[in-house]
Structure 1
Amino acid sequence: MATQKRANQADIAERLGVSVSTVSRALANEIGISDAVRRDVQRMARTLGYKSKHNMAVVTGDKRAVALVPLGSATSGLSGFYFGIVEGMREQAAAAGMALDLRLVNESAVTLELIRKQVAQANAGGLLLAGIDGWDELAAWSTEAEVPVVLVNGSDPMMRISSVSPANYYGAYMATQRLLDAGHRKILHFTHSYRPTIRQRQRGFEQAIAKTAGAVGTVVHTGERHTKELLADLLAGKHDVTAAFIWNDIAAVEMLEGIYGVESPLPPNFSIIGFDDLPLASIATPRLSTTRVDREAIGRGAVRLLAEHMDGEMAVQQLEIGVSMVAGETVFPG
C-alpha cells in the first residue's frame, strides 16, 4: 500500500503563494516576517500536518483570546448563567495554555468598531462573544482580519461563524413532553422572538405538541404581554390551559407566587416548567421544575472550538451542549 507523502515547506509555500524562504523564516519565528504571514504559514503547517523542529506557537496574539461578556446579563438575574460559562472558559483556557482576557461590555452597544478596539487592546488572535448573535459585518471582518470568532450562547443561522449553545430545540421538546407525559393537553408557551437561540425553544415546543394527539399549544410572546401581564391573564382565566412552559427560569419564578399562592384561582395541579436551571430556581418555593443547561460545558466547548480555529480549522461548526431535566416540585398530573 502506498504511503502518504509527508508535507514539506514547499507544499506550504505553494498553498500560500509565498517563497520557501518565507515559510522557513515564519516557522522559525524570525524577525522581518509580518504577523499576518506568520499566522498563515503556521496555520497551514498545522492543517497539512507538517512537523517542524521549531516551536510553532505564534509569539504575538495567536495564543491570546479576548472574551466579551454582556454586562447587562452579568449583573442581572442571568448573572448565574454567564458566571458558569465564564468559569468554564477559564478552566479550558488554562488547560489549553491560552491567555484569555475577559471583558464586560454593554451588549446593546456592541459594534464592529468596539470589537476591533477590544481585540487590538488585548493583542488577541481569537474572539469569544457571549450572548451575542452573528451579523454580516462581523462575519466579513473575521474573515478579512483572520481573527476567528466563536459565539457563546449565540448562533449564526447563516453558518458563517462558529457557535456553542445549549440544545434549545431538543431541550424545549423534552420540557414540553414532560408536561404531556403528566397528562396535560392544553399547554401555554411564554417566549420571545428576539434571538435565534430562543426561537429554537418555540420550535421544540410546537413539535412536541404536534406529535401528541389532542394536544393544543398556545404561544404568547413577550412583545405581546410582559410576565406580570401574562400572570394576570392566567389568573383571570383568559387562557384555557392547565400547564405552562416558560422560556427561562427568571420569568417562571416571577409567576410562582401568583400561581401557587393561597388566593390563586388556578387548580392546585396547574403545572409550570422553566429553562436554564438558574440558582434562583433551586431556592424558589416551590422548587421550580426546569431544564438544566450545563453552562460550564458551554464555556469549555467554546474555548476548545476557538483553539481549533486558531490552529487552522476553517470549517464553521455549530456545537450544541445537551440539557437534562430537573424534577422540581411544579409539575403535577394533569
Structure 2
Amino acid sequence: MAQRKVGIKDIAARAGVSISTVSHVINGTAPISDEVRDRVIRVARDVGYLDRRKNKGTIASLRKILLAIPQDAMPENDVNLVSWTILSTLMQESESRGIRIVVHEIDHADAFRQVPEAARAVDADGIILVNDDRPALLKEICNSKIPAVLINGEDPEMHINSVTPGNRFAAQKATQRLIELGHRRIIHLTWQGRRTVDRRLDGFHDAFQDNGLDIDGAITLIAEGYEPRHAEAAVRDWLARHPDLDGVTAIFCAADNLAFGAMKALKSAGLTVPDDVSVMGFDGVGLGELHVPALSTVIVPLDEFGSAALELLESSANADSKKRAARRLELGCEVVTRASVGPPPR
C-alpha cells in the first residue's frame, strides 16, 4: 500500500499549532512570529512536505528582508516620488505576505561589503536593493550568496536579479508620439549618473533613427540632478542662450520631476505649454495628472515593482543550491498624452 502523503494537518499536529497557522506560514499570508514560523518550517522539512512544495515553487520562504536604500530614496524624501511610490507598495505587499522589512540606509562612503554584512546581522533571507547599481556593490552582494533583487537599476553583468521599467523602448515610444505630432527638433532633458536614465536617452535617439530624421534635431540637455529646481535652472540657461528656441518645439524629460521644472522655466520666459513648446515626462507620478497643464508622460507601473521583486526573491530562495542565472524583469510602460503636448506651432 502506498504511503499517505503528509499534509498541513499533520504538520500542525506535530508543530503544536493550528492548521491556519501552518497555512499562513507556508503561503506567507499573515505575519507569524519567528519562533513559530521556524518550528513549522522545521517540521515541514523533516516530513518532506517542504521539498514537495518547493518543487512546485509554492513555498513562502521569505521571513525577513533587508531593504538597502540610498539616502535620497528614503521614504521621508518628498522629492523622489518614484522611489516613494515603489517603497510604499513594497511595504504593503510585504506586510500582506507576513514578511518583515528591515531598512538599511546605504552610505556611499561605506565599504560595499556592509550591505551583505547588514543582511547577515539581522538574519535576513534576502536583500532588496533600490536604485543603487554600482558594479562593485552588485558584485559584493552576488559573492555573499544571499538571494537579492535590484529594483529600478541596471546590472549589465547580471550579478543579481533585477526589476526595472522597459526604459529604452518606452522612451522610444514617447519620442515617437512627439514625432507623429510633427515635432522635428526635440530636447531630451536628462541628468547623469544612472544607467536606467541612459537607456531613456538611447530610446530617444532610436526614435529619430527609426524615422530617418536628422540626428541633429535630437538635442540633449543635461541638468545637474533629477529635482525640479535642477531642470528649471538647465532650461532657463538654455533659453538665455537660445531666445528664439532654435527651432525646438518639444522637450522630452527623463523624469516627471524634470518636466515640472522645465514647465516652470518656460512659463517664466513667457512661453506657453503646449502652444509654444510641448513637454513630455517619464515616470507617471500622481502629481503629473494634477499639474496645469496636465503632464503627458510615460506611465511606469510603479505599484508592480514590489510584488515582482518579492516573486523573484522568493524564486531564488526556493532554488536548489546550484548556481542559477540571474533574471532581469523589464516591466512594460504606457505613453499617455495629456494637455502638455500638442502639434508644433505653425
The alignment's TM-score, normalised by the length of structure 1, stands at: 0.75
Q: How does 1:205-220 map to 2 (within 5 A)?
A: 205-215=204-214, 216-220=217-221
Aligned length: 289
How much has 1:140 moved relative to structure 2?
A: 4.2
Deviation at 1:63, TM superposition (A): 3.2
Aligned residue runs from structure 1 range 81-160, under 5 A? 81-97=82-98, 99-103=99-103, 105-106=105-106, 108-109=108-109, 111-136=111-136, 138-143=138-143, 145-160=144-159
Structure 1 residues 112-121 or 317-326, which shifts more? 112-121
The CA distance in 2 between the partners of 1:328 and 1:57, in whole Å, is: 42
Within-5 A mapping of 1:35-46: none
Counterpart CA distance in 2 for 1:327 and 1:256 is 16
What do residues 164-193 of structure 1 show as CA deviations (whole Å, max 9, x unaligned)?
011111111111011111110111111123
Give, in angstroms, the shift of residue 303 of structure 1: 0.9
Q: Which amino acid aligns with 1:139?
A: K
CA pair 329-104 structure 1, distance change in 2 beyond 3 A: farther
Residue 141 of structure 1 deviates from its aligned partner by 4.3
Structure 1 residue 137: Cα displacement: 5.1
- In structure 2, do the counterparts of structure 1 residues 107 and 172 end up closer, same or farther at CA, with 3 Å as the change threshold? farther
> CA 1:162/1:73 → structure 2, altered by over 3 Å: closer, same or farther?
same
Deviations, residues 73-117 of structure 1 (Å, cap 9, x unaligned): 3344544322321233234434544x2314151453454243134
Partner of 1:169: 168
Name the SS of the counterpart of 1:87 in structure 2.
helix
TM-score where L is the length of structure 2: 0.73
Confirm whether residue 234 of structure 1 aligns to residue 235 of structure 2. no
Correspondence for 2:284 among 271, 277, 281: 277
Summarize the Cα distance change of 1:47–1:266 in structure 2 as closer, same or farther, 3 Å threshold.
closer
> 2:64 maps to what in 1?
64
Contact 1:163 1:317 in 2 (8 A): yes
Cα 1:327–1:149 shift into 2, 3 Å? same
Higher relative contact order (CA 8 A, sep 6+): 1
Aligned to 2:333: 323
Give SS of 1:206's match: helix
Distance across 1 between alignment mates of 2:135 and 2:95: 30
Instruction: Supply the RMSD in Å over aligned alpha carbons.
Output: 3.4
Which structure 2 residue ranges, 5 or more long, are not aligned? 1-40
Q: Provide the C-alpha distance between the structure 2 equivalents of 1:134 and 1:161, rounded to a whole number of angstroms.
A: 12
User: Is the 2:158–2:326 contact (alpha carbons within 8 Å) kept by the matching residues of 1?
Assistant: yes
Q: d(CA) in 2 for partners of 1:262 and 1:202?
A: 26
